[in-house]
Amino acid sequence: MLRDITIGQYYPADSILHRLDPRVKFIVTIVFIVSLFVNNTWTAYLVSTVFLAAVIKISKVPFRFIVKGLKAVVILLMITLFFNMIFTPGTPVFHFWIITITKEGIVTAVRMGIRLIFLIIGSSLMTLTTTPNQLTDGLERLLKPLEKIKIPVHDIAMIMSIALRFIPILLEETDKIMKAQIARGADFESGGLMKKIKSMVPLLVPLFISAFRRANDLAMAMEARCYHGGSGRTQMKPLRYHGRDFGAYIIAAIYFAVCILMRIFGRYLL
Amino acid sequence: MSIKLEHVTYTYNPGTVYEMHALKDVTLEIPQGQFVGIIGHTGSGKSTLIQHFNGLIKPTEGKVLFENQDVWAENYELRKLRFQVGLVFQYPEHQLFESDVMSDVCFGPANEGLTQEECRERAKEALNHVGISEEYYDKSPFELSGGQKRRVAIAGVLAMNPKVLVLDEPTAGLDPEGRKEILDQIAWLHETRGITIILVSHSMEDVARYVERIIVMNEGEKSFDGSCKEVFSHYKELEKIGLAAPQITYIMHALAAKGLDVDLSAITVEEARDSILKALGKEKPCSEILP
Ligand SMILES: Nc1ncnc2c1ncn2[C@@H]1O[C@H](COP(=O)(O)OP(=O)(O)O)[C@@H](O)[C@H]1O
Ligand SMILES: [Mg+2]
């Protein structure tokens, strides 16, 4: 029941995208997100759509799987679009009570919607094709320079990778405890809000206890293997750039350059 | 009055890369009052199988019948089924959540809609049956030892007065003494309450001396189903799927192969001793001969 959440989930497949260096994927994702906000013409959105579609195709992740991740944020998306629509001044097209929808509002909302959806698809594509471990490795390497100003980059990366690792474990645990309590006649579905909140106690208490127990065990296991933070720690699979990684950088750079050019010469485009 | 599974197939995460066929065409019937052991290697589908018994998961294909009614039929009250088929999960102590033992055991009966008085009655009886004495009633479940916690958790299911009690590896993680204690208590429950008991385990030795019927699971399929004697006679096949018959079975088969007329269905050391002595023509057990 909780397994529908795909954000932050890894989808194993054999594609170039999966094999790319996590640093590349991270930077290209950021470039892509920035490009969405550089875009201000429909032509530019079309270019971004083509770029995204091509990446999805290469990734070998089924489209259906990517869309499933969108479901979780649909409400958030709706609210954003709604407020964009009613709070943008301009030529009114629709009026009801105190709400006025304007032509400009609709355009802004549609653009905002496209940006948000692309943003979510783009970033989930990164997490779907990169294992959590690779992701934090990449992040650690990218942020390494910050150690100069005394930011504990390694520790932050380690916390992140443990947190990511724990998400599926805790989901599984939730599933198990939920089933165990349902077997004792617990009812998580019916009743009003108060009753629903109360019915969560038999789920949440064991879940917290289990999370603390696991954290404790993990800390012990790490200490037993002499973990003492990042200094002097080597990696089993150090990150190294390959030809394909430079290729990906070049393609992303070209894409971004096109986006900027379209922005500059926007007035000649649709 | 029975649990019936007809051609049950169960697939986890169908249609994704994580697709896993956990059960494949399982058909079985467990009559009321039987003491059954379900045995199989880790990952053979035991836990998946038993979650069908009280309607926690819906078979991908096939039917589950309780007392001849399809539990996945449109208007079947699944919640009522859960009070009749009590399911004790593996490591049940992980589901304890109340501040004291009494309230935790009362959780099941209270969900059934009983009054506080009735709940307490049921809880007392259940705790008594698993050997938790009155002095523990007001203690926090988290202060108890591992074995005690588990017994409190079992009492939590028992307090619903189920007709069928299913236990998933109730002895996992306990020391030999704790294991024997729990199993003895379960056997005693079977006798006094006359309920069906379905005991899941990956250890033949544990289960063999208690149950009257063994169902062997292997890679999601039911590979053997019958009395202990029948199942253990396949000890060579059992070995191939990572299980072993009780050690006594091996000795008895070896002796029989040498031409000694011993009882191949012996499971405990005592039974084996008596049977060997009889085959050798000596009626009296050693202990009675020795000074
Ligand atoms: N919640 C789940 N999601 C996906 N696969 C599962 C889940 N639970 C069990 N499985 C898989 O189904 C198979 C059978 O598991 P299970 O019924 O737990 O076996 P057993 O109890 O005999 O060890 C295993 O291969 C296991 O990995
Ligand atoms: Mg199991």
Mean pLDDT of A170-189: 91
Higher pLDDT, A80 or B116: B116
Q: Are residues A15 and A100 in the same domain?
A: yes
Give the DSSP letter string of A138-181: HHHHHHGGGGGGT--HHHHHHHHHHHHHHHHHHHHHHHHHHHHH
CA–CA separation, B283 vs B275, rounded Å? 9
User: Is residue A78 a part of any domain in this protein?
Assistant: yes
CA–CA separation, B58 vs B61, rounded Å? 8
Mean pLDDT by 10 residues, chain B (291 residues): 92 84 95 94 93 94 93 91 94 92 94 92 93 92 90 94 94 86 91 93 82 93 90 86 83 87 82 86 62 51
Contacts of B120 (CB under 8 A, 6+ apart): B102, B106
Q: Are residues A16 and A35 in the same domain?
A: yes
Task: Give the number of beta-carbon pairs within 8 Å between A and B.
Answer: 60
Structure confidence at residue B290 (pLDDT):
55
* A202 contacts B107? CB cut-off 8 A: yes
Structure confidence at residue A93 (pLDDT):
75
Q: What are phi and psi of B194, to 5 degrees?
A: 65, 25
DSSP state for residue A3 in the 8-state scheme: T
Structure confidence at residue A132 (pLDDT):
80
* A184 contacts B107? CB cut-off 8 A: yes
- For residue B221, give both structure tokens: 């399929």
Contacts of B283 (CB under 8 A, 6+ apart): B277
Do the bridges between strand B35-40 and strand B213-218 make them parallel or antiparallel, or are there none, so unpaired?
parallel
Q: Which ligand is nearest to the CA of B40?
A: 1
- Tell me the chain A residues in contact with residue B50 when contact means C-beta distances shorter than 8 Å: none
Which of A72-76, A96-100, A174-178, A184-188 shows the lowest mean pLDDT across its residues? Answer: A96-100
Q: Are residues A246 and A166 in the same domain?
A: no
Q: Are residues A245 and A119 in the same domain?
A: yes
Structure confidence at residue B214 (pLDDT):
93
The answer on pLDDT for A90 being more than 80 is no
Q: Are B174 and B146 in contact (CB under 8 A)?
A: yes
CA–CA separation, B245 vs B236, rounded Å? 9
Q: Are residues A110 and A182 in the same domain?
A: no
CA distance A226 to chain B (A): 27
Q: Are residues A36 and A70 in the same domain?
A: yes
* B97 contacts A205? CB cut-off 8 A: yes
Most informative mutation of B11, B20, B88 for ligand 1 (most atoms within 8 A of CB)? B20
* B13 contacts A3? CB cut-off 8 A: yes
Q: Which atom of ligand 1 is nearest to the CA of B40?
A: 22
CA–CA separation, A50 vs B215, rounded Å? 56
Higher pLDDT, A87 or A261: A261
B83 contacts chain A (CB < 8 A): yes
Q: Which of B28, B71, B65, B70 is nearest to B215 (CA)?
A: B28
Pick among B78, B83, B94, B105 to test the A interface (most A CBs inside 10 A): B94
Q: Are residues A179 and A60 in the same domain?
A: no
Which three-class secondary structure state does DSSP give residue A85? helix
Q: Find the B14 Cα to ligand 1 centroid distance in Å.
A: 13
Q: Are residues A119 and A162 in the same domain?
A: no
Structure confidence at residue A1 (pLDDT):
41
User: Is residue A148 a part of any domain in this protein?
Assistant: no
Q: Are residues A174 and A257 in the same domain?
A: no
0.90 cut: is pTM over it? no
- For residue B50, give both structure tokens: 């038993």
B59 contacts chain A (CB < 8 A): no
Work out the pLDDT band at A92, boundaries 50, 70, 90. confident
Q: What are phi and psi of B23, to 5 degrees?
A: -135, 140
Which B residues 239-258 touch A at CB under 8 Å? Answer: none
A233 contacts chain B (CB < 8 A): no
If one counts the domains in chain A, the total is: 2
Q: Are residues A219 and A244 in the same domain?
A: no
Name the residue at shortest CA distance from atom 25 of ligand 1.
Answer: B43
* B89 contacts A180? CB cut-off 8 A: yes
Q: For residue B31, list its beta bridge partners.
A: B2
The answer on pLDDT for A72 being more than 80 is no
Most informative mutation of B8, B47, B53, B166 for ligand 1 (most atoms within 8 A of CB)? B47
B172 contacts chain A (CB < 8 A): no
* Domain containing residue A245: 1-130+240-270
B233 contacts chain A (CB < 8 A): no
User: Is residue A29 a part of any domain in this protein?
Assistant: yes
B54 contacts chain A (CB < 8 A): yes
User: Is residue A142 a part of any domain in this protein?
Assistant: no
User: Is residue A145 a part of any domain in this protein?
Assistant: no
Structure confidence at residue B229 (pLDDT):
83
In this predicted model, what pLDDT tens digit does every residue of A199-218 receive, in sequence order? 899 999 999 999 999 999 99
Structure confidence at residue B98 (pLDDT):
92
Q: Among partner residues A65, A185, A202, which is closest to B112 by beta-carbon distance?
A: A185
In this predicted model, what pLDDT tens digit does every residue of A210-239 receive, in sequence order? 999 999 999 999 999 988 877 778 888 888
Q: For residue B36, list its beta bridge partners.
A: B198, B213
Residue of chain A with shortest Cα separation from B93: A206
The CA-atom distances, in angstroms, between A9 and each of A5, A6, A79, A122, A141 are 8, 5, 25, 13, 22
User: Is residue A138 a part of any domain in this protein?
Assistant: no
Q: Find the A181 Cα to ligand 2 centroid distance in Å.
A: 17
Structure confidence at residue B235 (pLDDT):
84
Q: Are residues A13 and A53 in the same domain?
A: yes
| CB of residue B91 inside a 6 A radius of ligand 1 | no
Q: Find the A130 Cα to ligand 1 centroid distance in Å.
A: 25
B128 contacts chain A (CB < 8 A): no
Structure confidence at residue A5 (pLDDT):
52
Q: Are residues A261 and A174 in the same domain?
A: no
Q: Which atom of ligand 1 is nearest to the CA of B217?
A: 22
* A13 contacts B107? CB cut-off 8 A: no
User: Is residue A225 a part of any domain in this protein?
Assistant: yes
Structure confidence at residue A7 (pLDDT):
52
CA–CA separation, B202 vs B244, rounded Å? 10
User: Is residue A143 a part of any domain in this protein?
Assistant: no
